[in-house]
Structure 1
């Protein structure tokens, strides 16, 4: 598969010519040069180009409301032509970025709902993994066609993710037949966790390939990497959490699991936050916040803290973590990057 479509640079110029690239909003009373250097660097380090201004927001609201109304009136049969017509006008002609994202998501939702209805007839007769395989096979073609026509980064990222989902489901079906198991996730959890981890690593590697190919983040490759990282971060985290759960003695580590499992989760989330700092992708920070809160809850519960204080301590700890990382993103990133060899840092987004 050609990972870098030949029309990518042309598409980027077309989007740029229409002003799709969004810059940071600054105080009108201050020039850009007056903003603190770390603040400017933090603003500019990760800017997916899907918002141009309030016009995009207004059009997107209209798109969502119209599609919801049409779904209620005529169902999936009416919504698909509406998605195509709106995409042709708003994306194909006007090159509006945020409506392009919303229409891509609408198409994915249409496929999800439509296939659920189509396969509902056969679902009782199929095994779980076979049903999942048939279901995910419906996604690559429409998403690929949408990207081919409109060159929306999110649609290409979802196309790649849907192919990964098909491959995982296919492996599950093959193992199900080989082992004679009814549902591989339940009967062989360690094997399933390994397969999911390998798939998540593959998505992460693909995202890094796009990142490395555009270290200055000036083209749509960076946007594709953004969406892939957004999926890879939680996929990697929860695949690794699967090992913590299955190797632990408790049924689940949250509440019922041991203190050791909760501590392992904290270290895992810390590792992910460090990776996010190194590659300058905040998805690796946000993906672990729920697990971090659950782990802190478990630690407090096992330590015998008062029930009345757990919730507030958890919220305070998670919120403080977010604030510290967010406020000191650039200094923390400089510290993390200083520990790596220059051969690695030279290929990543530059530290400012």
Structure 2
């Protein structure tokens, strides 16, 4: 979340900013976020750095996302967790579910006015957004009677139309709250949070209209939702191929949301096949390899990370098939670790090969295109 991080200020005796720092992606993105330079000016400076004008030797196609700008972020986040957690307990005890959750949402918004809008702290901004969204949803849900009778949330989202409509109302209200938060604070993860609330709203409405269809089609619906979020993420990515504006941070969080929605329904079905189903095991590995190619093409590791658990399960089955029964877990973890390390070490040259294999107009539009 680069744009929320304060840039280091030069002291009286620091002299001019050195070339490598002036040409760095992080420095340029902070300048755009603060309104010091425009996006076009940042792109021009970035091209100058890559042409040798600033001598920058930073890798050009790594995902850059700063969660922590310093230990102060961790310190503040610890305080936020203690304060908001205690406020939730006391609010529920003395004010009830509706007013107690509403109080936590108000606290989260008020704290964001200082730590997000004024201090521009990365990790606290993420925590405050998530706390505000969760407290806002819990307030609306309690007000609409969703938590009455001690029912668990899985029961509330089952095929019960009488509960689905209040759930739709709570999720719709959460979408509006998250949109208001983004308009005020512009925290990049807010777009992904809003997308998640929108998916919840769509599912709630479908549950109210056709509960049996939803129950029978959950894997397909999750994949459809994942594809929609992935398309939205790519829209932000393609709008910022150099990854120097807020769009790249928004795209990262959207990819992180899309990944499990796309990966889990497909791979869980294959991974859940019988132990002797070698075809399903090989299918899991084939899908993971396909995800690796997509991840290389778009320079996003989130899709691949989501499939690593299933790749580990598949490696374990292959190890057992090979007759190594006494050390299945360490052997499968060894293979999985070797796969991750090999891919990490060869990420840049492998990505170059993938991009060169694509049609040139497509490759030229992707983030950090080869030769751009």
In the alignment, which residue of structure 2 is the partner of 1:81?
A: 106
Q: Residues 101-180 of structure 1 correspond to what in structure 2 (within 5 A)?
A: 101-114=126-139, 117=142, 118-121=145-148, 128-129=158-159, 130=161, 131=163, 133-134=167-168, 136-176=171-211
In 2, the alpha carbon distance for the partners of 1:293 and 1:272 equals 15
Whether 1:264 and 2:283 are equivalent positions in the alignment is yes
Distance in 1 (alpha carbons) for counterparts of 2:175 and 2:116:
20
**Quick one: which of 44, 53, 58 aligns to 2:75?**
58
After superposition, the Cα gap between the structure-2 partners of 1:233 and 1:126, relative to the gap in structure 1 and judged at 3 Å, is closer
1:227 pairs with one of 234, 248, 253: 253
Conserved 8 A contact 1:168-1:196: no
* Stretches of structure 2 lacking an aligned partner (at least 5 in a row): 1-28, 37-53, 93-100
1:282 match: 301
Corresponding position of 2:15: none
Q: Name the CA distance, whole Å, in 2 between partners of 1:126 and 1:105.
A: 22
Deviation at residue 292 of structure 1 after TM alignment: 0.7
Cα offset, 1:112, TM superposition: 5.0
For 2:361 and 2:118, how far apart are their aligned partners in 1? 43
Which protein has the larger Cα radius of gyration, Structure 1 or Structure 2?
2
Which residue pairs with 1:22 in the alignment? none
What is the TM-score of this pair, normalised by structure 2?
0.73
Structural RMSD (CA): 2.9
Cα distance in 2 for partners of 1:65, 1:277 equals 40
Counterpart position of 2:65: 48
1:68 alignment partner, one of 73, 77, 85: 85
Give the TM-score normalised by the residue count of structure 1: 0.77
How far apart, CA to CA, are the structure 2 residues paired with 1:98 and 1:126? 32
Q: CA deviation at 1:168?
A: 3.4
Shift of 1:284: 1.4
Change (3 A) 1:54 1:261: same
Contact preservation (8 Å) 2:102, 2:139: no
Aligned mates of 2:333, 2:349 — CA distance in 1: 25
1:205 aligns with 231
Cα gap change, 1:120/1:243 in structure 2, threshold over 3 Å: closer, same or farther? Answer: same
Q: d(CA) in 2 for partners of 1:172 and 1:105?
A: 25
1:215–1:350: 8 Å Cα contact kept in structure 2? yes
Query: 1:92 is paired with a residue of what secondary structure?
Result: coil
CA distance in structure 2 between the partners assigned to 1:184 and 1:312 by the alignment: 39
Aligned length: 307
Identify the range of structure 1 (162-171 vs 208-217) with the bigger mean alpha-carbon deviation.
Answer: 162-171
The separation in 1 between residues aligned to 2:318 and 2:34, in whole angstroms, is: 49
Alpha-carbon distance, 1:115 to partner: 5.3
Assess, with a 3 A threshold, how the Cα gap between structure 1 residues 285 and 15 changes in structure 2: closer, same or farther.
farther
Distance 1:12 1:69, change over 3 A: farther
- Assess if the C-alpha contact under 8 Å between 2:268 and 2:310 holds in 1: no
Deviates most, 267-276 or 121-130: 121-130
Note if 1:316 corresponds to 2:334.
yes
